[in-house]
């Protein structure tokens, strides 16, 4: 196996559930737009795409299976990037039941899916992920051979993943974690907090930082420096720098690649990312 120590996985989240066309005219919504944006991000150095679905008429977040299907088809037609579907439900659909949140994963079987590792106040809304839901999602993903990515919004969620999923054997190593830093109600972005999260990880884990808003690239850089990866894209941040909208997700990926190369590392190819993540 090739030496992957200096390879960094870059994930792009091109749409998300929070930003709207009022926030940025460059937000991709239709399947064609998401496919084109993902291809541009792949060409710029991304090896994973994290997908939320949007109603193509209204632009509102949706759990519609056919929208997810169209997104995946458009992405796969354009590039070989690793595909990941959210099971979070999205900002305006946090009230979805667990079965609805998991349906697209069960039907479409992407390479990976997010697995939120605990309940929290997400902004001003309750985001429920009780132990039985975490266990059910993990069991089903293992049966489907879909790689879970533990979304960690606070320190205790690392231990949730360990106690509820990893120790019972409901996921296979290497274990994949995302540290979401900067959501109101969750852990805030700082080097100290990142260090605590990394120190709590179980053996045979890989991880990335998801910095929210203006923290996307600075916390991503901290993650790369500490041996992890990073996620960029309009889901979490729409600005290239203060007051300047990114015109494409690819611009944010390119900024991430500059950080990676500035540290003497390289963005992982899709095949290298598959080895690192364990897909």
pTM, two decimals, is 0.96
255 located within any domain: yes
Where are any strands of DSSP class E within the chain? Answer: 7-8, 10-12, 48-51, 53-54, 61-62, 82-85, 112-116, 120-122, 125-127, 147-152, 175-181, 205-211, 229-232, 239-241, 244-245, 266-267
pLDDT on residue 94 = 58
Q: Which domain holds residue 140?
A: 7-277
Residue 1 lies in a domain: no
Residue 85 confidence (pLDDT): 97
Q: How far is 279 from 272, CA to CA, in rounded Å? A: 10
217 within some domain: yes
* Residue 167 φ/ψ, nearest 5 degrees: -60, -40
Query: For 101-126, how does the pLDDT look when each residue is reduced to its tens digit (9 = 90+)?
Result: 999 999 999 999 999 999 999 999 89
CATH of residue 226: 3.20.20.70
In a domain, 183, yes or no: yes
| Degrees to nearest 5, angle at CA 146 with 81 and 165 | 130
Question: Which pLDDT value is given to residue 98?
Answer: 87
Residue 74, in any domain of the structure? yes
Model confidence pLDDT, tens digit, residues 61-89: 999 999 999 999 999 999 999 999 999 87
191 is a domain residue: yes
Is residue 2 domain-resident?
Answer: no
pLDDT in tens, 169-184: 999 999 999 999 999 9
Instruction: Please state the domain count of the chain.
Output: 1
- On whether residue 133 sits in a domain, the answer given is yes
- How far from 139 is each of 135, 144, 165, 168, CA to CA, in Å? 6, 9, 8, 10
**Mean pLDDT of each 10-residue bin along the chain, 279 residues long:** 85 96 98 98 98 95 95 98 90 71 96 97 92 98 98 98 98 98 97 98 98 98 98 98 97 98 98 98
């Amino acid at each position: 196996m090739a030496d992957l120590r200096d390879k960094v996985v870059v994930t792009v989240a091109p749409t998300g559930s929070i930003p709207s066309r009022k926030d940025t005219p460059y937000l991709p919504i239709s399947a064609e737009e998401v496919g084109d944006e993902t291809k541009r991000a792949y060409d710029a150095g991304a090896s994973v795409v994290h997908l939320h679905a949007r109603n193509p008429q209204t632009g509102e977040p949706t759990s519609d299976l056919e929208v997810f299907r169209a997104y995946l088809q458009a992405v796969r037609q354009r590039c070989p990037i690793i595909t990941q579907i959210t099971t979070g439900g999205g900002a305006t659909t946090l009230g979805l039941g667990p079965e609805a949140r998991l349906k697209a994963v069960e039907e479409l079987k992407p390479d990976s899916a997010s697995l939120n590792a605990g309940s929290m106040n997400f902004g001003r809304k309750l985001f429920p992920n009780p132990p039985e839901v975490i266990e059910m999602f993990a069991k089903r993903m293992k049966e489907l051979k879909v790689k879970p990515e533990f979304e960690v919004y606070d320190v205790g969620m690392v231990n949730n993943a360990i106690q509820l999923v990893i120790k019972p054997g409901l996921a296979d190593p290497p274990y994949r974690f995302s540290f979401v830093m900067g959501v109101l109600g969750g852990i805030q972005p700082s080097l100290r907090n990142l260090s605590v999260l990394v120190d709590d990880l179980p053996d045979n884990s890989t991880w990335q930082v998801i910095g929210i808003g203006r923290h996307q690239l600075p916390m991503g850089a901290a993650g790369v420096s500490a041996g992890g990866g990073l996620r960029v894209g309009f889901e979490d941040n729409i600005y290239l720098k203060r007051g300047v909208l990114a015109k494409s997700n690819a611009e944010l990926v390119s900024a991430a690649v500059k950080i990676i190369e500035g540290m003497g590392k390289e963005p992982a190819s899709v095949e290298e990312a598959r080895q690192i993540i364990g897909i």
